Structure 1
Amino acid sequence: MAALDSAALVAVIGAGAMGAGIAQVAAQAGHPVRLYDNRPGAAAEAVQGIDRQLARLVEKGRLTASSHAAIRQRLLPVDNLEALAEARLVIEAIVEQLAVKQALLRQLEALCDDDCILASNTSSLSITSLAAGLRRPQRVLGLHFFNPAPRMPLVEVVSGLASDPQLAATLYATAKAWGKQPVHARSTPGFIVNRVARPFYAESLRLLQEGAADCATLDAVLREAGGFAMGAFELTDLIGHDVNYAVTCSVFEAFYGDSRFQPSLIQKALVDAGHLGRKRGQGFYSYAENSERPIPAELQSQAQVERCVVEGHLGVMQPLVERLRKQGIGVSERAGAGVLSVGDATLALSDGRLASQRAREDGLRNLVLLDLALDYASATRIAISLSADCTAQARDQAVALLRQAGLRVSLLADLPGLLVLRTVACLASEAADAVLQGVASAADIDLAMRAGVNYPCGPLAWADHLGVGYTLRVLDNLQRSYGEARYRPSLLLRRSHAEGGRLHA
């Protein structure tokens, strides 16, 4: 299906940050754009703001002066809905209230030609509900941009129950022509990103609540071991706790209280206190003038290690072996159960059990569990937890080995699964459930999580790298430890493991 012709008029309703950003994207793609807001003067102010942003791009050499002038010429603020009657595509980006959006869509249906596509930038409301009651519900779709729209590449093209597949294909092609990375999604709570991303926040919040470590340490582990651009506490402070908490509550309620999406009492307390993050100067961190950022906790060791023993294959941790060799540490290899021994210590990748539980069940003394890393060859930090019988000497030997490999070492309390591992496993399970339920394809889900929230790897591809069976084992162990449905693995994970297949081809 072809994209809309660049000569087609695009109308944007709502001149806030999202609406203005979408208007800028459409105008930069060559469309004449009309921007409307029911607040007097708001559309004109937004166009002036866009003009200033484009001028800064010219100053930085990213846009020519002539292109700036042409884009500005295509942007027209208007002060009444009737000025949008000739639009081929109308995108509403107004307040996230179902009744208000429905009323607007009824006005647009009466105003615009039948071949005009009516799109909503909603991040959480049902496209099916928005279209209900209209004479032509098939022309209503979601076109969900991410903030800031001119810079963020992802666009979710969301189809409701009545949406015309050909119009969805047109919007997909149009978003691609605008330089975006579109994905198709079915209208279910949270669509792709706002649904699949919930565990990224939830697992850090839970570990904080359970006393695993402080915010700065947990954030550092997600960044420096997991490869995420920001930790969960940094990110929620940036988003705003009122916004992030509201999305979590919305998804939780829409899924009839499914414990996978249960909101955090810690975040609720921040919202209740008005500690909404950067915009209020206080969230998990202080943003007051001259405030100092907390330093992540890091273990030290005076021990010196010359040799270690690799027993069996270490799976995804295997690159750590070459890293140790490059640092001059002698590595002996022998058959075994996939563990690394140094002095009195036994090091192993976490599998979702408590370190003390695994030490007892597997007969391992002085057990040091390692968290998952995106790439053990290049990670700069690793989280560990210790079994109850681990001696100070064994801990120092393990820490010395990891530090000599160039890793900062952060200690977490002995809780089931470590931070990156349980976060990735839960993300993969949620993504797999979205595939199973026909929300989107595996390829589109992984693309959405990379392009929409800057994950270093799509969660399904990451589970394939870790091993579908291992991911399933981690979730099963988490569920047994907590006794909660929150950690139940997606049936697609179990089926893929049984069939010996992969989640993301």
Structure 2
Amino acid sequence: MTALSTHARIAVIGAGAMGAGIAQVAAQAGHSVLLLDNRPGAAAQAIEGIDRQLGKRVENGKLSAESRNATVARLHAAQTIEALADCALIIEAIVENLEVKRDLFRQLEDICDEQCVLASNTSSLSITSIAAQLRHPQRLLGLHFFNPAPVMALVEIVSGLASDPALAACLYDTARAWGKKPVHTRSTPGFIVNRVARPFYAESLRLVQEHAADCPTLDALLREAGGFAMGAFELTDLIGHDVNYAVTCSVFDAYYGDTRFLPSLIQKELVDAGRLGRKSGQGFYSYAEGAQRPQPTSLDSERTVTSCVVEGDLGIANGLIPRLREQGVEVVQRDGAGLLRVGDAVLALSDGRMACQRAREEGLRNLILVDLAGDYAKASRLAIGCVADIEPAALADGVALLQRAGFVVSRLSDSPALVVLRTVAMLANEAADALLQGVASAADIDLAMRAGVNYPQGPLAWADSIGLTHILKVLENLQASYGEERYRPSLLLRRRVAEGGTFHD
């Protein structure tokens, strides 16, 4: 089955921000679109809002007046649900309530012929459950857009237990014809994005709860070292803590209290206080007029270093070596266990152990652990963690070396796997479990996380590039440090390491 013809009429039920956005996408793709809402006048107001938004794009030279007029002319406010009877596809974008959605689709089944495809934009409810009471459950699927729908590229095509694969293929091709990046996923809690993304928020929230660093520093490290568009605290402020916390609770409950998805008490406290982020004027940061954003903390060293010794293979941190040489640092290489020495300091890429533990187990003095960078050639900031009794001169030498390479250095408390490495390892682990359980393919999981939440790399491809053996070691050390199932490595990760393969084999 191919994409729906542009001659096919589309209906969207729900004229809120999401429904209006989906209607705009379909109309811009050339379809006649009916927009229905149970609030009197809401559909017409939504069309007027779309007209205004497109008008601004015309004024900015990003859209022709002809395209704007043609799009708006294809949008029509429906007055009754019966007006949708001849539509080829009806997309529901109403309240996230299972019984309300079930009632709506039962009505639609009585009104529309059997060829009409029914779709829900739900982000959290089971497609299987919504469809269970229909006479023809095979024609209901999820068509999950991301907000704002006209801007965000990703669309999750969600198949429930009874969903017709041919219809899933049709919706996939239709979404692609609409200029989107579709992915297939089974109807499991959180689908792809809302499941796999949980560790991105959870690990930063845990680190700030443990006073490993403050919010601005952790955010800066995820941006400037990890390559993420935003840090966890500024992103949850943008999303809204009520929304983000509710999604976490929903996934946690759906997985019967699996500690991988444990909600944060810090975020609950913000919700309880009404500090919901940008929309309330206060979250982790203040958005009051004139409020100054607190700055990340960093270390500064006035020491001068001109040489260092690299012992063995630094793994993915080998990217440090060209940067040092470009700045005129003499790098002496010799055999060893993957260490970098400068003065009395010993630097090593974190493997998930605390610095104090690794120093004791390997007999290393003045140990400084270095965090992961998404790209060591381009990163501008780097996190370190140190043993508590590090000599001040050794710490100054280590910081000076990293500064010489062009990094701003932020120190965390002696925390397992620091911040970027911990976050990426946990994202990869969750993605691996989703792959193991057949939620989606490796390619679709990676595409979903790049297109849906703008990650610099898909978590599975990222893990492949770091090395699955290292990712497994990090997770095992995290689990040993905390003694929690939260950090248990995925069976698929263990299998791939034992096979000597990758996630994309």
TM-score category (smaller protein): over 0.9
| CA distance in 1: counterparts of 2:67 and 2:40, whole angstroms | 29
Query: Deviation of residue 244 (structure 1)?
Result: 0.1
Q: What SS is found at the alignment partner of 1:280? A: coil
Structure 2 partner of 1:404: 404
| CA distance in 1: counterparts of 2:231 and 2:179, whole angstroms | 28
Structure 1 partner of 2:146: 146
CA RMSD of aligned residues (A): 0.6
| CA distance in 1: counterparts of 2:137 and 2:237, whole angstroms | 38
Query: Deviation of residue 468 (structure 1)?
Result: 0.4
Counting only pairs closer than 5 Å after superposition, residues 337-348 of structure 1 correspond to structure 2 as 337-348=337-348
Query: Deviation of residue 388 (structure 1)?
Result: 2.2
Query: Deviation of residue 53 (structure 1)?
Result: 1.0
Structure 1 partner of 2:278: 278
Q: What SS is found at the alignment partner of 1:278? A: coil
> Deviations for 1:260-305, whole angstroms, at most 9, x for unmatched residues?
0000000000000000000000000000011000000010111010
Structure 1 partner of 2:86: 86
| CA distance in 2: counterparts of 1:166 and 1:62, whole angstroms | 36
Structure 2 letter corresponding to 1:269: E
Structure 1 partner of 2:163: 163
Structure 2 partner of 1:119: 119
> Deviations for 1:64-93, whole angstroms, at most 9, x for unmatched residues?
111111111100011211111110000000
Counting only pairs closer than 5 Å after superposition, residues 295-374 of structure 1 correspond to structure 2 as 295-374=295-374
Structure 2 letter corresponding to 1:225: A
Query: Deviation of residue 347 (structure 1)?
Result: 0.5
| CA distance in 2: counterparts of 1:504 and 1:360, whole angstroms | 37
Structure 2 partner of 1:55: 55
Query: Deviation of residue 60 (structure 1)?
Result: 1.8
Query: Deviation of residue 390 (structure 1)?
Result: 1.3
Structure 1 letter corresponding to 2:313: H
Counting only pairs closer than 5 Å after superposition, residues 385-464 of structure 1 correspond to structure 2 as 385-464=385-464
Counting only pairs closer than 5 Å after superposition, residues 103-114 of structure 1 correspond to structure 2 as 103-114=103-114
Counting only pairs closer than 5 Å after superposition, residues 146-225 of structure 1 correspond to structure 2 as 146-225=146-225
Structure 2 partner of 1:471: 471
> Deviations for 1:82-116, whole angstroms, at most 9, x for unmatched residues?
11111000000000010110010000100111110
| CA distance in 2: counterparts of 1:295 and 1:66, whole angstroms | 46
Query: Deviation of residue 483 (structure 1)?
Result: 0.4
Query: Deviation of residue 408 (structure 1)?
Result: 0.3
| CA distance in 2: counterparts of 1:121 and 1:85, whole angstroms | 20
Q: How many residues align?
A: 505
| CA distance in 2: counterparts of 1:242 and 1:266, whole angstroms | 12
Q: What SS is found at the alignment partner of 2:374? A: coil
* Larger CA deviation: 305-314 vs 245-254: 305-314
Query: Deviation of residue 183 (structure 1)?
Result: 0.1
Counting only pairs closer than 5 Å after superposition, residues 486-501 of structure 1 correspond to structure 2 as 486-501=486-501
Please state if 1:504 is matched with 2:504: yes
Structure 2 letter corresponding to 1:257: G
| CA distance in 1: counterparts of 2:184 and 2:26, whole angstroms | 19
Q: What SS is found at the alignment partner of 1:399? A: helix
Query: Deviation of residue 362 (structure 1)?
Result: 1.0
Structure 1 partner of 2:381: 381
Q: What SS is found at the alignment partner of 1:229? A: coil
Query: Deviation of residue 186 (structure 1)?
Result: 0.1
Structure 1 letter corresponding to 2:26: A
> Deviations for 1:303-339, whole angstroms, at most 9, x for unmatched residues?
0101000111111111110100000111100001111
| CA distance in 1: counterparts of 2:383 and 2:461, whole angstroms | 22
| CA distance in 2: counterparts of 1:66 and 1:275, whole angstroms | 43
| CA distance in 1: counterparts of 2:146 and 2:380, whole angstroms | 30
> Deviations for 1:445-465, whole angstroms, at most 9, x for unmatched residues?
000000000000000001001
| CA distance in 1: counterparts of 2:311 and 2:378, whole angstroms | 22
Structure 2 letter corresponding to 1:504: H
Structure 2 partner of 1:259: 259
Q: What SS is found at the alignment partner of 1:435? A: helix
Q: What SS is found at the alignment partner of 1:66? A: helix
Structure 2 letter corresponding to 1:97: N
| CA distance in 2: counterparts of 1:352 and 1:343, whole angstroms | 25
Structure 1 partner of 2:33: 33
Q: What SS is found at the alignment partner of 2:279? A: helix
| CA distance in 1: counterparts of 2:10 and 2:504, whole angstroms | 36
Query: Deviation of residue 404 (structure 1)?
Result: 1.0
Please state if 1:14 is matched with 2:23: no
* Larger CA deviation: 484-493 vs 385-394: 385-394
Query: Deviation of residue 387 (structure 1)?
Result: 1.1
> Deviations for 1:129-167, whole angstroms, at most 9, x for unmatched residues?
000110000000000000000010000000000000000
Structure 1 partner of 2:45: 45
| CA distance in 1: counterparts of 2:391 and 2:7, whole angstroms | 72
Unpaired runs of 5+ residues, structure 2, are none
TM-score by length of 2: 1.00
Query: Deviation of residue 504 (structure 1)?
Result: 2.3
Structure 2 letter corresponding to 1:392: P
Structure 2 letter corresponding to 1:501: G
Where do 4+ consecutive residues of structure 1 move more than 6 Å? none
Unpaired runs of 5+ residues, structure 1, are none
TM-score by length of 1: 1.00
Structure 2 partner of 1:246: 246
Structure 1 letter corresponding to 2:389: D
Q: What SS is found at the alignment partner of 1:96? A: coil
| CA distance in 1: counterparts of 2:363 and 2:45, whole angstroms | 69
| CA distance in 2: counterparts of 1:66 and 1:481, whole angstroms | 62
Q: What SS is found at the alignment partner of 1:40? A: coil
| CA distance in 2: counterparts of 1:351 and 1:169, whole angstroms | 42
Q: What SS is found at the alignment partner of 1:279? A: coil
Structure 1 letter corresponding to 2:421: L
Structure 1 letter corresponding to 2:211: G
